[in-house]
Amino acid sequence: MRIFEPLLMTTLLAATALAGCGDDDGSGAGSPDAGPEDPDGDPGAESDELLIGTWQLIDDETGDVASEYTFAADGRFTFTESGEESEGTYQVTGTELMMTSADGTIAFTYHADEEAFMTAALLPDGEVDGFVGRWTGTISIDSPTLQVDSEMTFELRADGSATIQGRQDGTPIDSEGTWTEESGQVVVSFPYEDANVNLHLDALPDRALGGPLYQRVSAAARNDRQNR
């Protein structure tokens, strides 16, 4: 069962997407001080009040719910996709969200406000103007099938040029490219090894780049959708 939906990552893995932590029964192990080691442990003590609630990712073509997160105030979460529900614990530390389940542990920078929740987010690093400025994000995955430890910084300039820097599992990344805004997304293009990478990032001006981008839903709206 997939706990974590495909995430548009802020690393070079984002060029394709991250499939969730797999169907293994093993449990990933986070750092000793990072939080609970399994979904039956004590939830993380720190929480973001704006994160608490239910968030849905809507399929643009069908209008159906593609996946759904619910974060409870007690530090537990549920994730639903394709009719299958999974659960685990979460912890917020500053701008990082860590989720732990039987499938492993994933942690990334995120954004949450009254209406939107963005996973695997690049956040402003200093002053930004719309999308122009410096954006930074991190992601780490610890599962039986995948190990990732990455940090990326995008410098987007008003003339459409971009600098992409960071590390991918200890390997430095430093590339020049371009960016443009298309249909509510920011598209960052740059060469990497023998390929041209085109990252389509969900975009919240002045707030976050990355995704997927979930929308908050009320209990009434959620029940109405389920009863259709």
**pLDDT given for residue 36 in this prediction:** 34
**pLDDT given for residue 134 in this prediction:** 98
Position 1 in a domain: no
SS (H, E, C) 162-185: EEEEEEECCEEEEEEEEEEEECCE
**pLDDT given for residue 27 in this prediction:** 29
Q: What percent of the chain has pLDDT over 90?
A: 57
The total number of residues shown for the chain amounts to 228
Q: Is 12 helix (H, G, I), strand (E, B) or coil?
A: helix
Q: What pTM, to 2 d.p., does this model score?
A: 0.78
Give the N- to C-terminal CA distance of the chain in Å, as an integer: 26
Tens of pLDDT, residue by residue over 59-73, are 888 889 999 999 999
Q: Which of 33, 3, 38, 35 is nearest to 21 (CA)?
A: 3
**Confidence category of residue 226, pLDDT binned at 50, 70, 90:** low
**pLDDT given for residue 195 in this prediction:** 85
**pLDDT given for residue 44 in this prediction:** 41
**pLDDT given for residue 223 in this prediction:** 53
Residue 199 structure tokens: 């990252």
Position 3 in a domain: no
**pLDDT given for residue 217 in this prediction:** 92
**pLDDT given for residue 136 in this prediction:** 97
Tens of pLDDT, residue by residue over 165-208, are 998 888 888 999 999 999 889 999 999 878 888 999 999 999 99
Position 24 in a domain: no
Position 84 in a domain: yes
- How does strand 195-204 pair with strand 104-109? unpaired
**pLDDT given for residue 119 in this prediction:** 92
Mean local confidence (pLDDT), 69-84: 93
**Confidence category of residue 220, pLDDT binned at 50, 70, 90:** low
Position 152 in a domain: yes
Domain count, the chain: 1
Position 7 in a domain: no
Contacts of 179 (CB under 8 A, 6+ apart): 131, 154, 156, 160, 161, 162, 186, 187, 188, 189
Position 2 in a domain: no
Mean local confidence (pLDDT), 44-49: 60
Tens of pLDDT, residue by residue over 116-169, are 999 999 999 999 999 999 999 999 999 888 888 999 999 999 999 999 999 888
Q: What is the DSSP letter of 116?
A: E
**pLDDT given for residue 228 in this prediction:** 54
What is the domain extent for residue 154?
A: 12-16+37-226
Position 218 in a domain: yes
**pLDDT given for residue 55 in this prediction:** 97
Poorest-pLDDT segment among 36-40, 76-80, 117-121, 181-185: 36-40
